[in-house]
Structure 1
Amino acid sequence: MAEIKAHEFDQFVKRRAKEYRIFLIYGPDRGLVSERAGELAKMTGVDTADAFSFMRLEASDINADPGRLYDEANSTGLFGGEKLIWIKGAGADKNLSDALSGIAQNPPDNAWIIIEAGDLKKGANLRKAAEGASAAVAIPCYADDAKALNSLIDEELAASGLRITADARSLLLDSLGGDRIASRNEIRKLALYAQGDGTIEEQHILDIVGDASAISADDAVDAILKGDLPDFLHAVQKVVASKTPVFLVLQGCLRQFQMLDLMRAEMDERRVSAQDALNIHGRHLHFRRKPVIEGALRNWNAAAISTEMNRLQAAILQSRQRSSLEDTIAMQTLLATTLIAARGRSRG
């Protein structure tokens, strides 16, 4: 089974991509899916301006005529040479999955196939077809983490000859994520605005950068910890509008409670304050989130944190076992946690 982890992609394109003929790029970050498909297209060396060697199709074209993929991949271009077939808009498409499985058993020597898909669950037919074929590779594209966003910032600003202060970087990171293309465009817009200034300061960010983040998971988690139901519902609306799985908020909430558990243990065992525990274990947190975490440490004791972690873990397991109810399970669990936090805050 061939699957490339997010951090392996750059080296994969440089060193190993030519070992494969079929690429499935999928995930909730549509911008990153499109960007990585473009990088793979460049790797093939096929001229995308040449109508005789390059063909762009929609997944619906293959679903309507499954044999077309085989025919196109094995046909010879007018002037010979290699071909590139780039398929967009794939999802849970049985006909496309069957076509991919068939062609992967006897892959063409002179054709490349790139398939862009949305977020495919583990076990989805298209993923199984790509992951189970020796000539194919599956490449997941999830929202950029802090490391990936920092690399993106460094890459774009270096190209413009700009530096950025630590505080400005933290503020910029808050405005990025969720969609790679949107994030890249925001950084380029910032670089153009700051051209000639040498160093980007916080004011540059405030002046020019919008909210490029398609994921409001941190906002939702913070609202949960505060027990603020209106803020939670607003943040979840942004998550849903971005077509990001609510499950990611559930995961983020569990990670936050795991951190609270670590901090609470520090407070109870070493008799330190919430602020001291935060300084020890929360140095990586953005300064705007620290008051929320500090407040949660005062409202949640060790036993309550442990109970909530167990409930969140059970919900994650249940959502994986009953994938059709994933969003419902996540929302019910997160709403319950928000209400528990609200009761704890009112008692405090």
Structure 2
Amino acid sequence: MRVQPRNVEGFLKNPGDGIRCVLIYGSDQTLVSERAKTLTTSLGIPPGDPFRTDEFSCDQIMGDKAMLADAAAAQSLDQGSRLVRITDATDRITPVIADFLDTLPGAAMVILEAKELVRSRSSLVKLLEGNDAGASLACYDDSDRDREAVFSQMFREAGVQVDNDALDWLASTLDANRGISRREIEKLCLFAGPGERLTLEMVLEAAAEAGGAAMDSLIFSACGGDVAQLEKWLERAAMEDLSPVAMVRGLIGHFFKLLELHAATKGGLAVDAAMKSMRPPIFFKNVEPMKRQHRLWPEKSIKDQLTALAGLESELKSTGSPDRLLCERHFYQVAILARRRAQAR
């Protein structure tokens, strides 16, 4: 069975009596871990309980293929539910899981945690989706709407009120990886304090002070044609392990803003008025660079970039691709193109 995104929360609370093996996989490993813990708790097993949980790596299972069946058939001391957790699962383990699903020894639930698998090609995903006793659910980076919901809940739990425009800015700016973005929200909760209200101005101030404006600097240096500054910010992005996918998505978002600006000015608005009407609002330090880039990048070039970036994002998600190299190369191409345009004006 394939668990659809809209059904994930309900499934994790109650997977059903017939399900014996669940594959949780995807690019967002923080979310993979969170969902595995939620499912474990729903089974009535405290996460990490050594008396009711057996944990193996994929290599351990492949080294002794009877290990899974033996662990699944074992009884817990208190006769309660048992769990077998297998980490770093790959397609190599598919024959072992197939044997398990054919025989279903014991009564333990098996949870497989894996990194990103290509659903259309993965034998493990196909096996779990096609078996009545199996299920698979994918964990990908949150969308803006998902992040808004997660952030709102975190602010509520911390007793912090947050303005809508501040929430919009955070959802569209922070890294799509749930683990990274949650750490940033936790910092903002501490920055504001319980019972306080968080405005967009406070968020921008905190982001600038904490170096959270690194993504903006990276994008503005590329689209403005400042190759020297771009090199500096790319080095910082690598040191901070900024996700190449997040960098590309940031660039996509920036080009969409430039496209929105073109649409507004074509509709009769002056550039300054169009800038003020944009939501989330442009950070005041980026207003002049944004106006300059509006002149540098015509609509056709922006649309060409969006097409190229969509292809690049898909390529970065392919297992084994040199993601940082591909990402940096495209940023340099954008900067060189912008510099040539600026020199030709």
Q: Does the pair score TM above 0.5? A: yes
2:141 touches 2:176 (CA, 8 Å); kept in 1?
yes
Give 1:2 deviation, angstroms. 0.5
**In the alignment, structure 1 residue 119 sits paired with structure 2 residue 116:** yes
**Number of aligned pairs?**
342
**Cα–Cα, structure 1 residues 220 and 109, in superposed 2: closer, same or farther, change >3 Å?**
farther
**Contact 2:128/2:135 (CA < 8 Å) preserved in 1?**
yes
**Could you tell me which residue of structure 1 aligns to residue 65 of structure 2?**
66
Shift in Å, 1:114:
1.9
Match of 2:133 in 1: 135
Q: Which residue of 2 aligns with 1:96?
A: 93
The residue number in structure 1 matching 2:41 is: 42
User: Which one of 272, 283, 293 corresponds to residue 287 of structure 1?
Assistant: 283
Q: Which amino acid aligns with 2:134?
A: A
Q: Matched residue of 1:116: which SS? A: strand
Asked if 1:341 is matched to 2:338, the reply is: yes
Are the aligned partners of 1:240 and 1:246 in contact in 2 as well (CA < 8 Å)?
no
Return the letter of the residue paired with 2:80: G
Matched, 1:13 2:12: yes
In the TM superposition, what are the counterparts of 1:211-230 in structure 2 within 5 Å? 220-230=218-228
Instruction: State the AA in 2 paired with 1:283.
Output: R
Q: Which residue of 2 aligns with 1:23?
A: 22
| Alpha-carbon distance in structure 1 between the residues aligned to 2:17 and 2:217 | 41
Q: Equivalent residue for 2:154?
A: 156
Residue 113 of structure 1: CA displacement? 1.8
Summarize deviations over 1:234-293 as a string: whole Å, max 9, x none: 55456556667635544554454455445435544x35444455556x423553666554
The one-character-per-residue Cα deviations of 1:126-163 (angstroms, maximum 9, x if unpaired) are 44444444433333333333333332332223223332
1:2 match: 2
User: What's 1:54 paired with?
Assistant: 53
Is residue 23–residue 137 contact of structure 2 (8 Å, CA) maintained in 1? yes
How big is each residue's C-alpha offset from its partner over 1:285-334, in whole Å with a ceiling of 9 and x where there is no partner? 55366655443221112333344345445656777899746665544333
- Listed one character per residue, the Cα deviations across residues 186-239 of structure 1 (whole Å, up to 9, x for unaligned) are 5445445644544345558856998698x9766544433222334444554565
Distance 1:174 1:134, change over 3 A: same
Q: Which sections of structure 1, spanning at least 5 residues, go unmatched?
A: none
Distance in 1 (CA, whole Å) between partners of 2:313 and 2:217 is 20
CA apart distance, 1:41? 1.1
Task: With the length of structure 2 as denominator, give the TM-score of the two structures.
Answer: 0.76
Change (3 A) 1:245 1:200: closer
Unaligned runs of 5+ in 2: none
Q: In structure 2, how many angstroms separate the alpha carbons of the residues matched to 1:175 and 1:318?
A: 22
Decide whether aligned partners of structure 1 residues 203 and 242 sit closer, same or farther in structure 2, where only a CA change above 3 A counts.
closer
User: Share of identical aligned residues, percent?
Assistant: 22
TM-score after normalising by structure 1: 0.75
Which amino acid is 1:98 matched to? P
Give the conservation status (yes or no) of the 8 Å contact 1:299–1:341. yes
How far apart are the structure 1 equivalents of 2:241 and 2:125? Answer: 20
Alpha-carbon distance between aligned partners in 2 of 1:212 and 1:33, rounded to the nearest angstrom: 28
| 1:31–1:181 CA contact under 8 A, matched in 2 | yes
Match of 2:144 among 139, 143, 146: 146
Q: Please state whether the residue corresponding to 2:110 is helix, strand or coil.
A: strand
The alignment partner of 1:138 has SS state of strand
In terms of mean alpha carbon deviation, does 198-207 or 291-300 score higher?
198-207
Task: Indicate conservation of the 8 Å contact 1:85/1:111, yes or no.
Answer: yes
Distance 1:260 1:178, change over 3 A: closer
| Worse-superposed segment, 178-187 or 296-305 | 178-187
SS at match of 2:342: helix
1:84 positional shift: 0.9
Letter of the aligned partner of 2:26 in structure 1?
G
Distance in 2, matches of 1:66 and 1:241, equals 41
SS at match of 1:60: helix
Aligned 8 A contact 1:226 1:338 in 2: yes
Q: Distance in 2 between matches of 1:191 and 1:219?
A: 24
Q: One-letter code of the match for 1:146? A: D
